[in-house]
Amino acid sequence: MRSSVKKTIFCIIILTSLMCSCSYFHERTLIKQLNSDSSEEKISAAEELGILKSKKAIKPLFYAMSDSNKNVGKAAKSALVNIGEPAVETLIGALVDSNSRKNAIIVLCEINDPRAITPLISLIKQEKDNSMRNYILNLSVGLGPGIIDPLASLFREIDDESVQRKIISVLGELNHPKAIKPLMEIYADHENLQIAIAKTMKNIKHPECIDALMIMIQNDQEYVRRYASYSIVEFGDDALEKLHKAFRNEENQYRLWIVTAIGKIADPSSIDILNTAFNDEDRNIRLRAFEALNELTTGPDRFKLFKQAINDNHSFITSAAFDFLKEDASDMAHDLLLEAMTTHKNKYIRRRAESAYNDRLRSINKKKK
């Protein structure tokens, strides 16, 4: 019995030894294959070494990334990403070589190992070529939220505005609520960069961003308000309560872009507040409300809307009404245009209605053909 157990153990040891030996020689064969004259063999070897997570293949695979055949380079890169953490130190070491630096950066950012953050930030500081700085920053999104604080610190250390703008863009692309605080700190201290921040905020898909955008939509700079308005639309219904509240404050001088955002979100719950806006003293607010209500109202409410628009005391609104009606094949559009061109007291309105009526007929006849 004891003899049988010993034989079994011996056989297991021999088999294990043989398997390890075969695996070792197979790994060596694959590494040699990376130097083959055949691109197909190189690609096959790289793919298998990646599956094996071969530590011995890290340097050969890194060299293979520079192969003249792009598909070999892609296979080698994918293999290194698959090997992951064991490759990080070698890749960090490769950052000192300007010839291989780009390949090392690509893989480091895809592996997403925190050890890469400090050397990459240092490289951005040392680099004088802004295209290379931007290259690193673009790829740094792959490092995830761990890069946010280092990027915020880097922003304060770099004086170059183009690089600062790229950092702002990357903070937005990271799509993490942790980026909101440093972005708002930059917003408070750098008036010249407020538009860039308003633009990038739409990329942070988190409710905390709404409060920040509500501050920006009431900025003294027209374009900051505009882009904040565009960005807050990305949050849809979640932003409506605060937008409605801000618009109801009649002392708020920034109501135009608030109602613009409400209109773009185009939720039926906003119809009452848009009707209020359609009666506002400001013609631009009326126009934005009209454009939104045109999308939201139907039946008698839509008829009433256009009737009021045609009779508005500003050409902005009447022109918008006629522009919509001439593209509308409904009976309602026909009746409104016919009434306006035949009975309206204002000669200008009659002419505009007649022109829209004829344009509408031509459009309908063209579609029938």
Average pLDDT, the chain: 90
Among all chains, which residue has been given the structure tokens 């501050």? 215
Q: Could you give the CA distance from residue 67 to residue 74 in angstroms, rounded to a whole number?
A: 9
Q: Boundaries of CATH 1.25.10.10 in the chain?
A: 32-111
Q: Could you give the CA distance from residue 176 to residue 201 in angstroms, rounded to a whole number?
A: 10
| Model pLDDT for residues 253-271, shown as the tens digit of each residue | 899 999 999 999 999 999 9
The token pair that represents 158 in the structure block: 């770099």
Q: Which of 24-33, 173-182, 316-325 has the lowest mean pLDDT?
A: 24-33
**Prediction pTM value:** 0.81
Read off the pLDDT of each residue in 120-149 and give the average, rounded to a whole number: 94
Q: Which residues touch 143 (CB under 8 Å, ≥6 apart)? A: 109, 112, 114, 116, 117, 120
Read off the pLDDT of each residue in 58-66 and give the average, rounded to a whole number: 92
| Model pLDDT for residues 319-357, shown as the tens digit of each residue | 999 999 999 999 999 999 999 999 999 999 999 999 999
Residue 4 scores a pLDDT above 90? no
| Model pLDDT for residues 64-85, shown as the tens digit of each residue | 999 999 999 999 999 999 999 9
As a whole-number percent, the residues of the chain with pLDDT over 90 amount to 79
Read off the pLDDT of each residue in 273-289 and give the average, rounded to a whole number: 95
Per-residue b or e along 273-282, where b marks 16 or more CB atoms closer than 10 Å to that residue's CB: bbbebbebee
Fold of 297-369: Leucine-rich Repeat Variant (1.25.10)
pLDDT at 10: 43
Residue 91: Cβ within 10 Å count: 24
Residue 179: Cβ within 10 Å count: 27
Q: How confident is the model at residue 209 (pLDDT cuts 50, 70, 90)?
A: very high
CATH class of 32-111: mainly alpha
pLDDT at 23: 53
Q: How confident is the model at residue 211 (pLDDT cuts 50, 70, 90)?
A: very high
- CA proximity to 64, closest of 45, 83, 48, 85: 45
